Chains A and B, each alone.
Chain A
Amino acid sequence: NAGVTQTPKFRILKIGQSMTLQCTQDMNHNYMYWYRQDPGMGLKLIYYSVGAGITDKGEVPNGYNVSRSTTEDFPLRLELAAPSQTSVYFCASSSKDRSNTEAFFGQGTRLTVV
């Protein structure tokens, strides 16, 4: 059982470049999330989705876009990378059948923008 899989694990981007962080889950969860984690700052919600075709902004959505065409996949797009987007990005999923109390996280993507 793979759970939540994120790719790539590491990436260095130049300012202004674009990239897509991939996330897929095999638990048939309704909810999926993208968080960023900065040192000493906890996890901040970027975007979330309650099901295929439905997405909404979290606390820090600026500079990012998402799509949810299937239950399994929830990619995060950075269009014009900026140094402020240097962070560790986590994708997570949860099931409303368990009150969304348990979020399953991927291993993270370490992104550096130079």
Chain B
Amino acid sequence: QKEVEQDPGPLSVPEGAIVSLNCTYSNSAFQYFMWYRQYSRKGPELLMYTYSSGNKEDGRFTAQVDKSSKYISLFIRDSQPSDSATYLCAMKERDSSYKLIFGSGTRLLVRP
């Protein structure tokens, strides 16, 4: 079993839709949860990170962590064609830890 599971998609939605992207994980020691966005033929870039459980909002993006279910989500409101990319979740255990564990990524396509 992989430590972090993520549906590869592709997920295709019309412009303006609410998008839900999810990851599940098996390691209960994970405390830091990150979402990276990767455009085609580019390196990943950090969108948001959350420490422990709860929600975090940044503009049209909301990250949610449910540690009891070992489940994290990224919601995108009013999705735009420019949101079309691969979204990777990543997690790590401790503040001092170097080791990020990545999901395989979900490819999102927002249709105009």
A residues neighboring B (CB under 8 Å):
4, 31, 33, 40-43, 45, 48, 50, 58, 90, 92, 94, 96, 99-108
Complex CA distance for A85 and B32, rounded to whole angstroms: 30
Check B71 for interface membership: any CB of A closer than 8 A: no
Contacts of B34 in A (CB 8 A): 101-102
Beta-carbon nearest neighbor of A90 in chain B? B43
**Which residues on B sit within 8 Å (CB–CB) of A92?**
43
- Known contacts A40-B104, A50-B98, A96-B96; is-contact A102 B49 (Cβ 8 Å): yes
**Given contacts A40-B8, A40-B104, A42-B88, are A99 and B95 in contact (CB under 8 A)?**
yes
A41 engages B104 (CB within 8 Å) = yes
Give chain B residues whose Cβ lies under 8 Å from the Cβ of A102.
Answer: 34, 46, 49
Check: B60 CB closer than 8 A to any chain A CB.
no
Instruction: Assess A42 versus B43: contact at CB under 8 Å? Given A99-B32, A101-B49, A102-B49.
Output: no
B56-100 with Cβ < 8 A to chain A: 88, 92, 95-100
In terms of DSSP, what is the predominant structure of the interface of chain B? loop
One digit per residue, 1 when the CB lies within 8 angstroms of any chain A CB and 0 when it does not, for chain B 28-46 equals 0000101000000111111
Q: Given the complex of chains A and B, what is the CA–CA distance between A48 and B97 in angstroms?
A: 12
Please pick, from A40, A100, A108, the residue contacting B98 in the complex, using a CB distance under 8 A. Answer: A100
Chain A neighbourhood of B100, CB < 8 A: 43, 45, 103
Q: Which residue of B lies closest to A9 (CB)?
A: B41
CA distance A48 to B49 in the complex (A): 21
In whole angstroms, how far apart are the Cα atoms of A72 and B99 in the complex? 20
CB distance from A48 to the nearest CB of B (A): 6
Closest 8 CB pairs of A and B: A105-B43, A42-B104, A43-B102, A42-B102, A102-B46, A101-B49, A99-B95, A105-B44
Assess the B42–A42 pair: CB atoms within 8 A. no
